[in-house]
Amino acid sequence: MLDVLSGHLRAVQSSHRGRMLAVRGRRQVGKSTVVERFVDAAETPYAFVTGVYQAPAVKQLEDATRAMGESRHPVPDLELLTQTPATSWREWFSRLGLAARSGPVIAVLDEFPWLVGGDRTLEGELQAAWDRSLERLPVLLILVGSDVAMMDSLASHGRPLFGRVSPLVIPALDPGEVADALPGRSAVEVFDASLVTGGYPRLVLDLAASGLSADDYVRRALRDAYSPLVTTGRLTLDAEFPEPQTAYRVLSAIGSSDTANPGFTDVVGAIADPGERQSTQVAITRALATLTGTKAMIEKELPAWAPPSSKLRRYRVTDPYLRFWFRYVERYIDPISRGRADLAIDAFDRDWTSWRGQSIEPIVRHSLQCLALHDPRLAGVETVLPWWNRSNVEIDVVAATRAGTPLVGTIKWRTGGPVTSAEVNQLRQQRTNVPHAEEALVAAISPSGEAVGADVTFSADELLAAW
C-alpha cells in the first residue's frame, strides 16, 4: 500500500497536477498508520488533519490550521498561513493552494466523515476548491475514513466529488503478510492467527509479542476485559452501529451461529419473537440488504453455477476476526468483566477445533484462487466456490472455468492423519451432483496435504505460498 501511495505522489510531482484519493477500510485496520508512515517518509511538506467526532466546525478548522505546522515536514510559508485559524473550509483550501505554489504538498483529512459531520458544506467546498485551483496544483489530497459506506459513496454519481476522487481500499493483512509478522511460525499456525486476528495489525502485533500459539493467545486474552482481542470488536462495531438496531442483531446472529453459514430461515429463527415472525422477516430482509450492500459486512453465498436469483443463499460474516468475536467474545463480555473468563475459555476450548475447520474454508478457497494464477493443477480456473443443494449434499471446493468444473475438493482441516480413502470416495460419488463435474479431478486439502486415493492434494504450506 505504501508503494501505491508513493506512485500517486510521484505522478503529482511529475505532472504538477493534483490528485485526490478516498482511502477507506474498517476501523482498527491500520489506515491512519499506513498514511502517516507514508507522509513521514515522503520528505514532502504535508498537513495531517484528524477529524474529531461531533466537534463543531470551529474546532475542526482550528485543528486543521494548526496541523499545517505540526508535521515533520511543515508546509511552506507556515507563519503566514497559520497566523490565525481559518474561518471556513474554503479559506483553509485556499491556504493549501498557496502552499502548493512553492512545490508539491500532501494534505491528509483523516476521519473525513467526522469532519463532514461538523460542517455539511465541506464536500461542496472541497469540490469548488478542487475545480477552481487545487486540481491544477501539485497537491496530493488524501481523504481517510472508517465509515465504509460514506467513503465508498464519495465517488458515486450525484455527489460533489464524483469524477474527481480515486477510491483506495486498505484491507486487513492477508495470510502472507501475517506470516511476515510471525516469522518462524508454521503455515497452520499462520492460518490460525489469521482466523483469530482477522489480519488486524494491532491484533497480529499483540499475538506476535505474546510469543504464544493462537489458541493460547486467545485463552490469555479472554482473561482480560481490556485486551485488544476483546475490545477491538466493540470499537469496530461502534463505528458502524452507534445505536443498537436490527442490522446489528442480524450480524450478531450470523456471526455467532452454530450453523457454519446460516440461511435466511436460520437467521429468522435466531431473532424472531413468537408471534412476530412476519414483521421480523421484513426487518431482517432490510438489514441483510444493508449488511451485504452498504456496510459490506456480510457476504451472501450461492452455490457454484447457481444463478443470482437462486434461493439457495446463505450468509457469513466477511471479516474473520468479527466472526471470531461474535462467536467467542460478544456473548461473554459481561462474564469476563465479572471475573468469569472461565466461561468464555470453556466455550472456546469446547468447539475451537470444529469452528476452525468451518471458518478456514473461505480462506482456503481464496488461497486456491490465488494459486490458480501459476499452478498448472488449477490451469484456467476462474472461480473457487462451495456447492450445496436442498438435500444437504455439500462440497467444499468447486473450481470452475468458463467451460466446466475441472476439480472438486474436500477440506479436512485437522492435524494428524491423512484425508481418508472413505472421505475421498464419498466426494468422488458426490461430484456427479455438481454441474459439469462428472469427470472432475478429486482434490483433498488438509494441513499436511496427505490423502489416500485423491487425484490432487494441497497442503497448508502450498496454500500459504499462494499469498
One domain for residues 29 and 163: yes
pLDDT number for residue 133: 93
In the chain, what percentage of residues exceed pLDDT 90?
Answer: 63
What is the model's pLDDT at position 272? 66
Cβ(44)–Cβ(104) below 8 Å: yes
Same domain? For 184 and 159 the reply is: no
Min mean pLDDT across 176-190, 267-281, 446-460 is at 267-281
H or E element, residue 464: helix 460-465
40 and 64 co-located in one domain: yes
Q: How many residues does the chain have?
A: 467
Summarize pLDDT for 204-251 with one digit per residue, the tens.
999 999 999 999 999 999 999 999 999 999 888 876 776 657 888 888
Domain co-membership, 352 together with 366 = no
Q: What is the residue whose three cell numbers read 499506513?
A: 34
Q: What is the pLDDT of residues 14-28, one digit of tens each?
A: 999 999 999 887 777
Residues 396-425: tens digit of each pLDDT:
999 999 989 999 999 999 988 899 999 999
Kindly report the CATH number assigned to the domain that includes residue 153: 3.40.50.300
Domain count for the chain: 3
Angle formed at CA 71 by CA 200 and CA 12, multiple of 5 degrees: 80
Looking at 124, 153, 169, the residue that finishes a domain is 169
Domain of 348, in residue numbers? 177-358
Q: What is the pLDDT of residues 68-126, one digit of tens each?
A: 888 888 888 878 788 898 999 999 999 999 999 989 999 999 999 889 888 889 999 99
How much is the average pLDDT of 186-203? 96
pLDDT band at 158 (very low <50, low <70, confident <90, very high): confident
Q: Do 306 and 371 lie in a common domain?
A: no
Judgement on whether residues 200 and 322 belong to the same structural domain of the protein: yes
Boundary residue ending a domain (147, 169, 191) = 169
Q: Which of these three, 125, 147, 169, is where a domain ends?
A: 169
Does residue 246 share a domain with residue 141? Answer: no
Residues β-bridged to residue 408: 398, 442
pLDDT for 70: 86
Question: What was the pLDDT predicted at 96?
Answer: 93
- 305 and 451 inside one domain: no
Reported as a single tens digit per residue, the pLDDT across 342-400 is 999 999 999 999 999 999 999 999 999 999 999 999 999 999 999 999 988 999 999 99
Residue 214 near residue 196 (C-beta atoms within 8 A)? yes
How many CB atoms sit inside 10 A of residue 296's CB? 16
- In terms of Cα–Cα distance, which of 72, 77, 30 is closest to 47? 72
Same structural domain, 273 and 319: yes
Burial class of 408 by CB neighbour count within 10 A (0 to 12, 13 to 18, 19+): buried
- Strands, E, within 3-151: which ranges? 19-24, 46-50, 105-110, 139-145
Residue 65 above 80 pLDDT? yes
Helix/strand/coil for 333: helix
Whether residue 181 is found in the same domain as residue 161: no
CB-based contact 296:150 (threshold 8 Å): no
Burial class (CB in 10 A: 0-12, 13-18, 19+), 335: middle
Tell me: do 279 and 204 sit in the same domain.
yes
Q: Are residues 127 and 139 in the same domain?
A: yes
Q: How deeply is 232 buried, as exposed, middle or buried, from its count of CB atoms within 10 A (0-12, 13-18, 19+)?
A: buried
Question: Helix H segments across 162-245?
Answer: 175-181, 187-197, 201-210, 214-221, 228-240
SS3 category, 367? helix
